[in-house]
Structure 1
Amino acid sequence: MRVFRLDDLEAERARGRGAYLRFLKERNISAGLFALSPGDTDPQTPHAQDEIYQVVSGRARLTVGDETTTVGRGSVVYVPAGVPHRFHDITEELRVLVVFSPPED
C-alpha cells in the first residue's frame, strides 16, 4: 500500500515550480496533481490515455471536445483518450487529482 497526502503532494509540486506533479506510475495506472491559478493558461494537449479528473479545490470551466461545464471541489470528470480538453476561466486556485489509464509516459 502507498498513501499520499494532498498537502505533501502540493508542497512537492510547488517546489518543482511546475503545474503538474506525477506521484504514481504503475503498470496499469498513473496519477498526478495538477494546479492552475486564475489567469493561467492550461497547456494540455490530447492524451493517448483515458483520464479522470477529481477537483480537490478551486473553480474553473472545463471544455472537453464540444462540451463545456463549470467544475469545482468535488467534481469528477472522465476525459476519453484523444479528446481535446482544457481548463479555462479559472476563478479560484485550482487543484486537480488526475488519474491516467494506461499510465502516462
Structure 2
Amino acid sequence: MGSYQAFELEELQADRSRSYAEFLRRPGLSMGIYHLPTGGKDPQHPHSADEIYVVLAGRAALEVEGERFHVGPGKVVSVDVGADHRFVDVTEDLQVLVVFAPPDDPGA
C-alpha cells in the first residue's frame, strides 16, 4: 500500500451487504458507512471512541443523552466517547459516513 487510499463515495454507499461497512482503519481513526432503513431500529450503545456522523442521505432524529434533534443530508454531528446515542424515527433510508477516533468496533 502506498501513502494514501482513495474511495468512491457512490460505491461505498451502494454496498448494503451489512448495516455498518468499515472501509478504512488507521491507528488513529476508522471510517465506515452506516445504513438504516426507513422504520429501522438502531441498536447502538455508547462507544469507546469519539464519533463524527456526516449524514449523506435520508432523514431521522438523533437522540444523544436524551436530547433529540432532526438530521438529514449535510448534517454533521459529533458524539463524545461514552455518550448514549441512537438514530430514531427513521423516515427515509439513512446513509451516514461515520468516523471513529480512535478506531472502535461498533458491533461489539
- Shorter-chain TM-score: what band? over 0.9
What secondary structure sits across from 2:74 in the alignment? coil
Normalising by structure 1, what TM-score? 0.92
Distance 1:28 1:47 in 2: 15
Aligned length: 102
Counterpart position of 1:2 = 5
Distance 2:6 2:69 in 1: 31
Normalising by structure 2, what TM-score? 0.90
Counterpart position of 2:41 = 41
Structure 1 unaligned residues grouped into runs of 5+: none
Identity between Structure 1 and Structure 2 (%): 48
What secondary structure sits across from 2:11 in the alignment? helix
Report the CA distance between 1:39 and its aligned residue. Answer: 1.2
Counterpart position of 1:60 = 60
Counterpart position of 1:96 = 96
Structure 2 unaligned residues grouped into runs of 5+: none
Distance 1:95 1:58 in 2: 6
What secondary structure sits across from 1:70 in the alignment? strand
Superposed CA offset, 1:6-57 (max 9, x none) = 221123x32x2x1100000001000000011111100111100000000001
**Which amino acid is the alignment partner of residue 28 of structure 1?**
G
CA RMSD of aligned residues (A): 1.0
Distance 2:9 2:84 in 1: 27
**Which amino acid is the alignment partner of residue 5 of structure 2?**
R
